[in-house]
Structure 1
Amino acid sequence: MKIKSQRDFWSGLLFVLVGVAFAWGAMHYKFGGAAQPGPAYFPFFLGVLLALLGGLILFKALSIESDGGDPIGAIAWRPLLLIVAALVFFGLALPTLGLMLTLPAMVLMLGLASAEFRWKETVLYSLILTLASWLLFVWGLKLSIPVWPAMVGA
């Protein structure tokens, strides 16, 4: 069996592995039924769907010829590390800095990961995302997310 597209092969394999991991992890929770789904219902079926999608991508990688084998290029370390750092920063800083400071800082870090970074666009995106997140999670869903830094007390 010959791999005809390296990109599709490795991405399909990753989809299958992540999908199986989610479905397997969901097995430790209560399933429920279609009328009253339990906590395992959504992650299990989402994992199965992801694994099936990965299987289709793997099939394509092994059966449909692509130009030059569609090789995987070099790993873009700077964007990868900045994205991971931004997510870790958000998780660690949210309880103390609050949503209104943490989210714009995270969007700025994510913007720096792009080769096409522009200050004006990044600031605009951070404002829109922060407002939309506050409207959805704090005002709409009434989640108890700290909005302002702990020292402000709001």
Structure 2
Amino acid sequence: MFTCVGAAFAIGANNYNVGSAARMGPGYFPLIIGTLLTVLGLVVVASAFTMKTADGDPVGKIAWKPLGFIIGANLLFGVLLAGLHNIGLPAMGLIVAIYALVVVACMAGANFSMKLSLILATVLAVGSYLTFIVGLKLQFQVWPTFISG
């Protein structure tokens, strides 16, 4: 990801006047940051292929259950927050989406507790409401349409 994003920024910076270190143009900073990000990504990839584990064992198998639950939780959050109007699913709002996200994501762990999931979801929902709606005054749906009218 670092390599791709960095390369995209470095390539995009060439559309602007780059200039020199003494007289920087608008494309200079994105070019330098993009190049550094690309190099960092390549170093991370190279170290992943050359790193040895402490006991010499190979990397274990992929944990499909947690991977599926975490990706599914994020997809469910997006669908519930925005809705799927072409199939008749209205937007359910921020609060419902956060509760669904947290409960499904918590199922990825070895020890699932509905009580702890609901407590965490409540803390996250209240914090998100205070941060985004009250603090930043962002305008998006908080409750489902049938509740908020």
TM-score under structure 1 normalisation?
0.67
SS of 1:145's equivalent?
A: coil
Alignment of 1:42-121 (within 5 A): 45=33, 48-49=36-37, 52=40, 55=43, 58-59=46-47, 62=50, 66-95=53-82, 96-121=91-116
CA deviation after TM superposition for structure 1 residue 69, in Å:
2.9
Is residue 141 from structure 1 mapped to residue 136 from structure 2 by the alignment? yes
Q: Across the two proteins, how many residue pairs are aligned to each other?
A: 130
- Is the CA contact 1:19–1:47 (under 8 Å) kept in the aligned structure 2? no
- Percent identical: 29
Q: Distance in 2 between matches of 1:68 and 1:124?
A: 39
The equivalent of 2:126 in structure 1 is 131
CA RMSD of aligned residues (A): 3.4
- Is the CA contact 2:2–2:41 (under 8 Å) kept in the aligned structure 1? no
Instruction: Give the counterpart of 2:7 among 21, 24, 44.
Output: 24
- Is the CA contact 2:77–2:98 (under 8 Å) kept in the aligned structure 1? yes
The equivalent of 1:152 in structure 2 is 147
TM-score under structure 2 normalisation?
0.69
Deviations 1:110-130 (A, max 9, x none): 000111212222111100111
CA deviation after TM superposition for structure 1 residue 141, in Å:
1.2
CA deviation after TM superposition for structure 1 residue 57, in Å:
7.4
- Is the CA contact 1:20–1:48 (under 8 Å) kept in the aligned structure 2? no
Q: Distance in 1 between matches of 2:142 and 2:48?
A: 46
Flag the 1:137–1:70 CA change in 2: closer, same or farther, 3 A. Answer: farther
Structure with greater Cα Rg: 2
Q: Distance in 1 between matches of 2:63 and 2:35?
A: 27
Flag the 1:106–1:59 CA change in 2: closer, same or farther, 3 A. Answer: closer
